[in-house]
C-alpha cells in the first residue's frame, strides 16, 4: 500500500495546521507527538489522518532519516475513538489535513514508511494503539507501562491488530491476548518482543532513544530505506523466490550514491559522508 498522501501534497507540510498531533523536524528526525491527552490520545478520524500525513512526509522526504513517535498525557494511546465506531460524527476542529476519502490503514502505512521508527512509550496503551507500536522498528518503554487488547470486553475483536502482531508473536500468543483481553506488564511485553527496550525511567528512555538515533544516523540512510522496503516487499514474494528477489535488491543498493560513498570511505579509511541517495 502506498502512502495516502503523495509527494506534491506533503510539500505543504510546514504550512499545515494539526489539531491533535505536534510534529517537529530536526537533525533528520521527524518527531510525531500525540497531543489529545484529554481524550487519552484516542485516535479519531482526524488523528488518524494527521498521523498518515506525517508518515507520508517522512516517507517521501529524503531528509527524514528516522521517526520518533511519542505522546503527551498519562495514557500513551487508548486506541480508536469508539465514538467513530458508534457512528457519531467527529466534532469540528482546526486540522487542515485534507481528507483523501480513503480508509486510513495505519498498520499498512507503518509497513510502507521504510524509515526507522522509534516509539517512546511512557504510559499505558490499549487496543488500536498496538497498530502504532507494532509498526515501529524499536519500542522503548518504562516499567510503569501496561498493555491490553480489551476489545472483546466490548463485544469487538482487534482485527487489524492481529495482522500487526503476526510478525512479532505466534498464533497462540496473539489469540490469547485477543480472547482474554487481560492487562499485561511492560516486562511481559519485552519478553514477547512487543517492547524492544525497557528502561528505568523517562530520563533513561530519552538517553536510550538518543543513542539509537545516533547509531541509526551513523549508517547509510539509503541502505536502511531500501532494506526496509525490501523487507516490506518480501511479504508478497513466494518463499522459493526470496533469495533471487533479495539478490536483485542488493544489486540495486550497490548502484546508489551512498553505497559508492561507503565503499570509497572504507578504501580511504575515513568516515563516510551520507546523502541518503
Name which of 16, 3, 12, 9 is nearest 46 in CA terms: 16
Q: Is the pLDDT of residue 2 over 80?
A: no
Band (pLDDT 50/70/90 cuts) for residue 83 is confident
Whole-angstrom distance, CA of residue 80 vs CA of residue 77: 9
CB atoms within 10 A of CB 46: 22
The pLDDT of residue 41 is 97
Q: Is the Cα dihedral 67, 71, 77, 83 positive or negative?
A: negative
User: Which single residue is written with the C-alpha cell 540512510?
Assistant: 221
| The three grid cell numbers given for residue 51, joined into one nine-digit string | 498521523
Closest C-alpha to 54, from 80, 21, 19: 21
Task: Report pLDDT digits (tens) over 154-163.
Answer: 999 999 999 9
What are the grid coordinates assigned to 106, written together?
495505519
Confidence check: pLDDT of 85 > 90: no
Q: Are 131 and 107 in contact (CB under 8 A)?
A: yes
Per residue in 200-238, pLDDT tens?
A: 999 999 999 999 999 999 999 999 999 999 999 999 999
Q: What percent of the chain has pLDDT over 90?
A: 95
Residue 82 has pLDDT above 90, yes or no: no
Q: Could you report the per-residue pLDDT of 232-244, keeping only the tens digit for each? A: 999 999 999 999 9
Average pLDDT over residues 247-253: 95
Residue 154 sits at φ, ψ, to 5 deg, of -115, 15
Q: Cα–Cα distance between 205 and 142 in angstroms, integer?
A: 7
pLDDT of residue 259 exceeding 70, the answer is: yes
- For residue 274, pLDDT over 90 is answered with yes
Beta bridge partners of 140: 120, 197
Q: Is 155 exposed, middle or buried (0-12, 13-18, 19+ CB in 10 A)?
A: exposed
Average pLDDT, the chain: 95
Query: Which conformational region is residue 27 in: left (phi greater than 0), alpha (psi within -120 to 50 degrees), or beta?
Result: left
Q: What is the DSSP string of 110-176?
A: HHTT-S-EEEEE-S-EETTHHHHHTTSSEEEE-TT-EEE-GGGGGT---HHHHHHHTTTS-HHHHHH
pLDDT at 95 > cutoff 70: yes
Greatest Cα pair distance, the chain, in angstroms, is 63
3-state secondary structure of 138: strand
User: For position 137, what pLDDT does the model report?
Assistant: 98
Q: What is the mean pLDDT of residues 115-126?
A: 98
Q: pLDDT value at position 87?
A: 78
Question: Per-residue confidence at 1, pLDDT binned at 50, 70, 90?
Answer: low
Q: What are the pLDDT digits (tens) for 167-197?
A: 999 999 999 999 999 999 999 999 999 999 9
Which burial class, exposed, middle or buried, applies to 92 when counting CB atoms under 10 A from its CB (0-12, 13-18, 19+)? exposed
Q: So what's the pLDDT on residue 91?
A: 87
**pLDDT (0 to 100) of residue 146:** 98
Q: Average the pLDDT over 55-76 and give the result.
A: 97
Task: Tell me the C-alpha distance between 253 and 13, whole Å.
Answer: 29
Burial class (CB in 10 A: 0-12, 13-18, 19+), 146: middle
Amino acid at each position: 500500500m502506498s502512502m495516502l498522501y503523495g509527494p506534491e501534497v506533503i510539500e505543504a507540510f510546514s504550512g499545515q495546521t494539526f489539531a491533535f498531533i505536534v510534529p517537529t523536524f530536526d537533525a533528520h528526525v521527524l518527531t510525531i507527538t500525540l497531543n489529545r491527552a484529554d481524550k487519552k490520545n484516542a485516535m479519531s478520524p482526524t488523528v488518524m489522518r494527521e498521523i498518515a500525513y506525517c508518515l507520508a512526509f517522512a516517507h517521501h522526504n529524503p531528509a527524514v532519516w528516522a521517526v520518533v513517535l511519542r505522546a503527551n498525557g498519562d495514557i500513551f494511546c487508548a486506541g480508536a475513538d469508539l465514538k467513530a465506531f458508534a457512528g457519531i460524527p467527529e466534532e469540528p476542529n482546526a486540522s487542515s489535513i485534507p481528507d483523501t476519502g480513503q480508509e486510513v490503514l495505519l498498520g499498512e502505512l507503518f509497513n510502507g514508511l521504510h524509515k526507522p521508527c522509534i516509539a517512546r512509550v511512557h504510559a499505558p496503551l490499549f487496543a488500536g494503539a498496538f497498530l502504532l507500536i507494532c509498526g515501529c522498528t524499536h519500542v522503548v518503554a518504562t516499567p510503569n507501562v501496561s498493555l491490553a487488547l480489551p476489545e472483546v470486553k466490548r463485544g469487538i475483536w482487534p482485527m487489524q491488530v492481529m495482522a500487526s502482531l503476526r510478525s512479532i508473536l505466534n498464533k497462540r500468543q496473539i489469540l490469547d491476548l485477543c480472547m482474554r483481553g487481560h492487562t499485561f506488564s511492560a516486562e511481559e511485553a519485552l519478553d514477547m518482543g512487543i517492547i524492544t527496550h525497557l528502561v528505568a525511567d523517562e530520563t533513561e528512555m530519552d538517553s536510550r532513544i538518543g543513542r539509537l538515533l545516533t547509531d541509526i544516523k551513523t549508517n547509510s540512510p539509503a541502505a536502511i530505506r531500501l532494506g526496509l522496503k525490501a523487507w516490506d516487499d518480501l511479504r508478497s514474494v513466494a518463499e522459493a523466490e526470496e533469495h533471487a528477489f533479495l539478490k536483485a535488491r542488493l544489486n540495486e543498493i550497490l548502484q546508489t550514491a551512498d553505497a559508492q560513498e561507503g565503499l570509497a570511505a572504507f578504501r580511504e579509511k575515513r568516515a563516510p559522508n551520507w546523502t541518503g541517495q
